[in-house]
Amino acid sequence: MNDTLTSDVIGRRVEVNGEHATVRFSGIVPPVAGLWLGVEWDNPERGKHDGSHEGTVYFKCRHPTGGSFIRPNKVNFGVDFLTAVKNRYVLEDGPEEDGKEQIVIIGNKPVETIGFDSVIKQQSQLSKLQDISLRNCAVNCAGDKGAIAKACPNIRKVDLSRNLLSSWDEVLDIADQLGHLEVLNLSENKLRFPSGSPSRTGTFPALKVLVLNRTGITWAEVLRCASGWPVLEELYLESNDLFISERPADVLQTVKLLDLSSNQLIDENQLFLIAYLPRLEQLILSDIGISTIHFPDAGTGHKTAMFPSLQYLVVNDNQISQWSFINELDKLPSLQALSCIRNPLTEGSKEAQTTRQLIIARIGQLKTLNKCEILPEERRGAELDYRKAFGNEWKAAGGHQDPDKNRPHERFLAAHPRYQLLCLKAHCINASGWNIIFEEEKLPVGIAFKSLH
C-alpha cells in the first residue's frame, strides 16, 4: 500500500507481521513527515499508546496500550476471496507445461496459446471445490462481481475465520455468489453489522451452520441479521460479550444447536428469553459464570414448558455449587445428555464416581453424563445408593412406606424432589392387602394408585 491512501481506509482490517488490527486514523502525525496509519490492535499488548501523540488525540482505543502508528507500506490490507482461493487451492504446473504451445480455435480462427492446459486445469480445480478453508488467508472482500459464482459454483462449506473482513456487507457480497453454501465460519473477524433493518434478506438460502465466535456481534445484531438465515440449524456465538436483550420473534425458529459459551454477561433470566425456541435440541453454556437456575412455571415433580426440545445441555466451567441446580434440570422434559465438568459441585471433595451417581439419581431421564453413556444397571445402582444415603433423612422428615402416613415436609422435598418417586419406582409396597402401582410418566411425585388383588 502506497502513500496515496484515502479516508476510506478508516475501519479497514489489516495484518502486520501476523497481528491483526483495525485502522482508526490516516494522516500526518507531526513532527514526522509523511503519511501514517493509526491502528487499534486486537491484542492490546501489541501497542504502545491509546491513539494520542504528544498531547494530541488522533484516535481512541479501548485499551491504553491498544494503539500504534504505522507506515502504510508495512500494512497488509489483504486480498479478495477468489485470489485467496487460487493461492490456496490451484496446483502449480511443472516447467515443461508452462511453456507448452497449443493451437486452439477461437471464433473460427486458429490461435497459438502458451500454458492453455494450465488455465483449463485451474478452472477445473476451482469448479470442483465444495469444502474450502481460507483461515488466516487475509481475505478482505468478494472481489469482482460474479467472479466467485463463475469460478467456484459448487462451494458448500467455507472457513473464513481470522481474516480481514471488516463488515457484514462484505460477507453478504461473498455469500450472494454461493447459492449452495451450507456451512460458514467467520470467527475472529471483527465485523461491523448493520445498525438498521437489513435491506438484503434471503442471502443465505441454504445455510445450516454459522460460526460467529469472537466477531463482536451483539444480540440485537444477531436478531437483525437472522431473517437472512431461514434454514439455519447451528449457531455459534462464543466470546462476544453477549447480553440477551429480547426474545427471538419469527427468527432462529429452525435452530437446533446454540453455543453461547464464554459470554459472561448471560444469566438465567436471559436464558428464559430463548427458552421457547421450538427446535432447540443442544444448548452450550460453558464458561458463562452461571450458578443458579430455576424454572418458575414448574413445581416439584413437574416438567417445565421451557426448552421443550432440549436434549443436550453443556454447562462446563461455570460456578455451579448447589444440588438445586441439578434438581431443576430434571424439570426439562426432553433432556437426555448433560455435561457439567469443572464446576465447584463436581470438583469438590466428593469422589467423582459418587458425584456422578448423585447426578444420575437426581435427573431421571438422563441417558448420557459427561459424554459417558448411562447403562441401565448403573442407573439402578445410582438410584438405590441415593435412597440408602438419604433414607434416614427422609424418615426424619416424615417419610413413611405407608402412603397414608407418608408426609415428608417441604424442605426435604425441595432438596430431594425425586426421592419419593424413586421409592415408589423401586418396588410395589404391599400394605394391608393393597398394591401401590406407580407409573413415573403419568403421575406426579407423592401420588400412588391403589388396586385390589
* End-to-end C-alpha distance for the chain, whole angstroms: 92
**Is 286 in contact with 314 (CB distance < 8 Å)?**
yes
Nearest to residue 309, comparing CAs of 230, 233, 229, 401? 233
The secondary element (H helix, E strand) that includes residue 14 is: strand 13-16
Q: Distance (Å, rounded) from C-alpha 314 to C-alpha 295?
A: 17
Cα distance between residue 6 and residue 155, in whole Å: 34
Alpha-carbon distance 109 to 208, whole Å?
48
Dihedrals φ, ψ of 217, to 5°?
-70, 145
**Amino acid 79: pLDDT:** 96
Tens-digit pLDDT profile for residues 306-319: 999 999 999 999 99
Which residue, 131, 106, 108, is CA-closest to 119? Answer: 106
Nearest alpha carbon to residue 71 among 12, 28, 8, 31? 28
Distance of CA 215 to the CA centre of its chain: 12
pLDDT at 289: 96
241 has pLDDT over 90: yes
CATH architecture of 7-74: Roll (2.30)
Q: What is the pLDDT of residue 400?
A: 87
Query: Which H or E element spans position 431?
Result: strand 430-431
Those residues whose C-beta lies under 8 Å from the C-beta of residue 106, and which sit 6 or more positions away, are: none
pLDDT tier at 2 (50, 70, 90 boundaries)?
Answer: very low
The amino acid occupying position 246 is E
- CA geometry: angle 278, 279, 280, nearest 5 deg: 100
What would the pLDDT profile of 406-449 be if each residue is shown by its tens digit?
889 989 999 999 998 888 876 443 333 334 333 333 333 333 32
Which three cell numbers, joined as nine digits, stand for 208?
A: 445450516
> Could you report the per-residue pLDDT of 20-66, keeping only the tens digit for each?
999 999 999 998 889 999 999 999 888 989 999 888 999 999 899 89
Alpha-carbon torsion, ordered 199, 202, 203, 207, to 10 deg:
150
pLDDT in tens, 59-100: 999 899 899 999 999 999 999 999 999 999 875 444 444 444
Alpha helices in 93-217, H assignment, sequence order: 95-98, 116-128, 147-151, 168-175
Distances, alpha carbon 185 to alpha carbons 142, 170, 379, in Å: 16, 14, 40
Whether 18 contacts 162, CB under 8 Å: no
| Nearest CA-CA partner of 359 in 288, 299, 418 | 418
Nearest to 183, CA basis, from 220, 135, 130, 226? 130
Give the mean pLDDT of 331-336: 98
The 10s digit of each residue's pLDDT in 110-126 is: 544 444 455 445 556 78
Report the 3 state secondary structure along 300-324: CCCCCCCCCCCCEEECCCCCCCCHH
40 neighbors 21 (Cβ within 8 angstroms): yes
How far is residue 268's CA from residue 289's CA, in Å, rounded to a whole number? 10
Domain boundaries, the chain: 7-74, 398-451
Q: What is the value of pTM for the model shown?
A: 0.83
**How far, rounded to the nearest angstrom, does the alpha carbon of residue 401 sit from its chain's CA centroid?**
48
The pLDDT mean for the chain works out to 85
Task: Single out the residue of 285, 256, 255, 289 nearest to residue 271, CA to CA.
Answer: 285
Question: Whose CA is closest to 279, among 247, 304, 250, 252?
Answer: 252
